[in-house]
Structure 1
Amino acid sequence: MAQARVLVIAGSDSGGGAGIQADIKTITALGGYAATAITALTAQNTEGVQGIHPVPPEFVASQMEAVLQDIGADVLKTGMLHDAAVIEVVSEQIRRYAADIPLVVDPVMVSQSGSRLLRQSALTALRERLLPQALLMTPNVPEAETFLDRRITTVSHMQAAARRLQREFGCSILLKGGHLPAPELVDVLVTPDGEQLFEGEWLTTKHNHGTGCTLASAIAVSVGQGLPLEVAVARARAYVRKALETAPGLGRGCGPVNHGHTVKDTLSDFLTPSPPSPNDD
């Protein structure tokens, strides 16, 4: 499979479980090449976000321009954009240098620990500037409720919400059901051409930090590798499921998943002595 170039525009997670760190690990583990434009630095760990230090919007633009003018990209993925000024420059850089490149938007609004990561004033910019440029948006239920200003409590509510978001923004919508109390885990994909439900069994674990970032990046790299969107979603869900099942159990709080589960352990290749060469004395 092709080594897709993925430019990720998102915030950094000092704990390594989410954000840019999760994006890079995911893209690499699935055979892509990750480049980045960092929008904010966070001080955080498995117990929560202790601080956010925004990167100036003009420097976010400089990072994007530097990558797109040299390395290029097969797909773009956004995560934490934090405020309206950053969204504006990201949208403008996409218009100037990447208008024909697929864009996956993870509308990161609130961390799993409850910290707000997107200012309220940025919602308008997200709606009006960035989402019309997107191929796909991947909201969870609370994020979809924020967009629509309505409660979502059933799978049928999810389907109706995803259809409405798709009509409003024009892009495909993957509405994730991880926050919904239901017998099965259900995600809803609505595209301009139709609708598909992805179902699975619940997995009980507290080590699920960064799953939203991870899923969106897994979809993005798969799209960049040429997979149809439905196949990219299925592949990404399978990747995240295995990452959850094999989570390393780090930290006192909501720990990271195992992003590297696709990578073969070759340590023994380095520790096993090589046989002597016929030319050795």
Structure 2
Amino acid sequence: MSIARTLTIAGSAAQGSAGIQADLKTFQERDVYGMSAITAIVANNAKTDNGIFILSEEEVKAQYFAAIEHVGVDAIKMGMLFSKEIIELVANLLKATTEATPIVVDPVMIGKMGSQLLRDDAIEAMIDKIFPLATIITPNLFEAERILRISKISTIEQMKEAAKALYQFGSAYVLVKGGGRMERALDVLYDGESFVELDKEKIDTIHTSGAGCSYSAAIAAELAKGETMVEAVTLAKNYVHAAIKYALSFNKGIGSTYHAAFRKYEENS
């Protein structure tokens, strides 16, 4: 039996809703074989003042080679990279080993719980080292604003202008995600020439932890299986919309998207 293989390079989220936990759940739901190279451990709680623990470059490198040498990879998803040093390491690894492999980059900066997941001085390194290697980048509006150093994006026209500007950094595609700021769940996909708008009803919930991670992981899963970019993003949009629609609420704060929701409730509807 053969199966498409996907690798996530990202942080570990102890609560299970985001990061590699969300990615691996998504890979399983989208029927691909998931692997991980953890860059950091995010474990915010009332018992510690330090909720982020960064792994060494050697630890990240060892995980990466364990995955690609022993299993192989058909698509890579990147999430939390955190520092210039890890960004430069990952960029060098990708350039040396991943010719023609689809690479999905989710430029995560701030977690739903407020954690800073990318250092301020690492943004330029992300733009210079990682974006040119990406098949697609998937910033939300806040991330697009930070990357482009622009004021608030609030219209579809501004989303399209942002996508055009982001495309200049070298990725083959740009997906700008409207998130909770727009009146509808509206995203814009740009390939350098034309736009595809992905429009869904907005779900009224605060329980969206892991939505961005899951979206980009689902795109990677579909690309690994050989889908076109438009097909991959459309399928991923449907998947994450269902995950938000049937989101989970736990003890306190922002709850998790429900990764099994599309399969259980909407896939065959």
- TM-score w.r.t. length of structure 2: 0.92
2:173 alignment partner AA = S
Residue 147 of structure 2 corresponds to: 147
Q: What is residue 104 of structure 2 aligned with on the other side?
A: 104
Going from structure 1 to structure 2, the CA distance change for 1:261 and 1:170 (only over 3 Å counts) comes to closer
Between 206-215 and 109-118, report the one with greater CA deviation.
Answer: 109-118
Tell me how far 1:262 sits from its aligned partner.
Answer: 4.8
Could you list the runs of 4 or more consecutive aligned residues of structure 1 that deviate by over 4 angstroms after TM superposition? 262-265
- Contact 1:132–1:170 under 8 Å retained in 2: yes
User: Take 1:192 and 1:79, find their aligned partners in 2: how far apart are those partners?
Assistant: 23
* CA RMSD in angstroms, aligned pairs only: 1.7
Query: Superposition pairs for residues 58-137 of structure 1, below 5 Å?
Result: 58-137=58-137
Identity %: 37
Cα distance, 1:44 vs structure 2: 3.3
How far apart, CA to CA, are the structure 2 residues paired with 1:202 and 1:171?
A: 28
Partner of 1:224: 224
Q: How does 1:158-169 map to 2 (within 5 A)?
A: 158-169=159-170
Contact 1:58–1:89 under 8 Å retained in 2: no
2:239 matched to 1:239? yes
Bigger mean CA deviation after superposition, 115-124 or 210-219: 115-124
Find the aligned partners of 1:28 and 1:66 in 2 and give their Cα distance: 20
Deviations 1:86-126 (A, max 9, x none): 01111111111113211000001011232211001111211
Offset, 1:72: 0.6
Asked whether 1:36 is paired with 2:14, we answer no
Cross-structure match for 1:25: 25
| Corresponding pairs, count | 260
Deviation of 1:62 after TM superposition, in Å, equals 1.3
Determine the structure 2 residue equivalent to 1:206: 206
The one-letter code of the counterpart of 1:26 is T
Q: CA deviation at 1:192?
A: 3.0
Instruction: Quote the Cα distance in structure 1 between the aligned partners of 2:260 and 2:160.
Output: 33
Report the Cα distance in structure 1 between the residues aligned to 2:146 and 2:226, rounded to whole angstroms.
32
Change (3 A) 1:184 1:94: same
Aligned-partner Cα distance in 2 for 1:133–1:164: 17
Q: Show structure 2 runs of 5+ residues with no match.
A: none
AA of the residue aligned to 1:206: I
Give the structure 2 partner of residue 191 of structure 1: 191
Q: Which has the larger radius of gyration?
A: 1
Q: Which region of structure 1 is more displaced relative to structure 2, 9-18 or 171-180?
A: 171-180
Q: Is the 8 A contact 2:8 2:37 kept in 1?
A: yes
**TM-score (norm: length of structure 1):** 0.88
- The 3-state SS of whatever aligns with 1:44 is coil
5+ long unaligned stretches in structure 1: 266-281
Q: Name the residue aligned to 1:15.
A: 15
